[in-house]
Amino acid sequence: MKYSIKTLAILIVLTLFSCGKSEEIQPVNQDIKELVFASGQLEWDDSYNLTAQTDGVLQNANFEVGNTVAKGKTIATLDNEINKINAETSQEQLVISNENVTSNAPALTQLEQNIQFAESKYLQDKKQAERYERLNQQNIGSKVEYENAQLAAKNSLSNLNSLKKQYRVILQQAKQQQIATKGQLKSNQVIQNYNSIVVTESGTIIKKLKSNGDYVKKGEVIATIANAQKVEAVLNVDENSIGKVKLGQMVFVQLNTNKNKTYNGKVTEILSAFDDQSQSFICKVTFDKSLDNSLFGTQLEANILVGEKKNALLVPRNYVGFGNKVNVKGKDEYVIIKPGIISTEYVEVIEGVDKNDVLLPLKL
């Protein structure tokens, strides 16, 4: 005889309750397990989207879903000539910037010549000023000629210093331009590299969203890649049941592709936020053993073991009414019980009745 996983998962009892024609029953002691039902799907851990970093027409996208790809591999390219042109232009500008910091740079060469001329003039004016200085000390010559010679020497020195300062400024500006051009080149080279779609982490392609010839905008997803060696079940748990789910609890999973087999796993993660899309809380389950067929996105049903007790006192749930009331034979009024584990089939009785009591169906 075959049972569906949902029926078996709600409660596992070792014996059936005996029930006569009068529908009178007595509570019995049996082992009980409470499970929370959840639907979900198989996913692979470490999944990520491979996105376009620039605009362009997709080319050489010869990959398919299921292909294994290694980190650093280029699996497609984007046709974007502007990125290529910008990188080439920056390279040419860097050549000019490098020349501008050498002694052969036109601006520096002209200043060097001016400095040499200014040094010669300063030396000449200095000698002339020194000559008039000696004559002045001997009271020879006019004072005007002496002062003019001194002024000419000062002006020549000032001009020489000004040209030297100008040389340093122009050289510094050329070096700054060189640094900026190098940075621009590196930036444009990085942008040019965006034309290549490169795998960032090894894995298996689980989704292909773009094909050759598609115009792709920056930020659009081209493919999704995940680690096929790390399979997990992602479960959608109802908000009324999430409070019972804890890390480490055992989970029984049945894939829709093979409902004749049950896989065991454990709750390894409970996302703290409510998922608006599925209107549920998300739990993740890892399996004790590898799965026979772990296709990404396979739909599944799961039951989480949230409670278990040996030799518990049980009554059928349809004998328990609102407010946990039961109809005990020989009692004029309903008896209120204290329930323990509750499933869709049975209720554990903590107190209120014992196994010697006889229960009758509820009066409708």
What pTM does this model have? 0.55
Residue pair 45/227 in contact (Cβ under 8 Å)? The answer is yes
In the chain, what are the domain boundaries? 5-45+230-360, 48-78+195-226, 82-192
Classify domain 48-78+195-226 by CATH number.
Answer: 2.40.50.100
Distance between CA atoms of residues 9 and 22, nearest Å: 29
Q: What would the two tokens of residue 184 be?
A: 């621009």
Res 197: pLDDT: 92
C-alpha dist (Å) from residue 77 to 142, 184, 213, 266, 338: 85, 23, 11, 42, 67
Contact assessment for residue 315 and residue 362, using Cβ atoms and an 8 Å cutoff: no
Burial (0-12, 13-18, 19+ Cβ within 10 Å), 211: exposed
H-run or E-run covering 335: strand 335-336
Tell me if domain 5-45+230-360 and domain 48-78+195-226 are identical in fold: no
Residue by residue, pLDDT tens for the chain (364 residues) are 444 444 333 333 333 344 444 588 899 888 888 889 999 999 887 889 999 999 999 999 989 988 999 999 999 999 888 888 888 888 888 888 888 888 788 888 888 899 899 899 989 989 988 888 888 888 887 888 888 889 998 999 999 899 999 888 888 888 888 888 888 888 888 888 888 899 999 999 988 999 999 999 999 999 999 888 888 999 999 988 899 999 999 999 999 998 889 999 999 999 988 988 889 999 999 999 888 777 888 999 999 999 888 888 999 988 999 999 999 998 889 999 999 888 778 899 999 999 999 999 988 6
Topology of domain 5-45+230-360, CATH:
Elongation Factor Tu (Ef-tu); domain 3 (2.40.30)
Q: What is the pLDDT of residue 228?
A: 81
Helix (H, G, I), strand (E, B) or coil at 230: coil
Residue type, 212: N
Distance CA 132, CA 110 (A): 33
Angle of helix 143-193 relative to helix 81-100, nearest 10 degrees, comes to 150
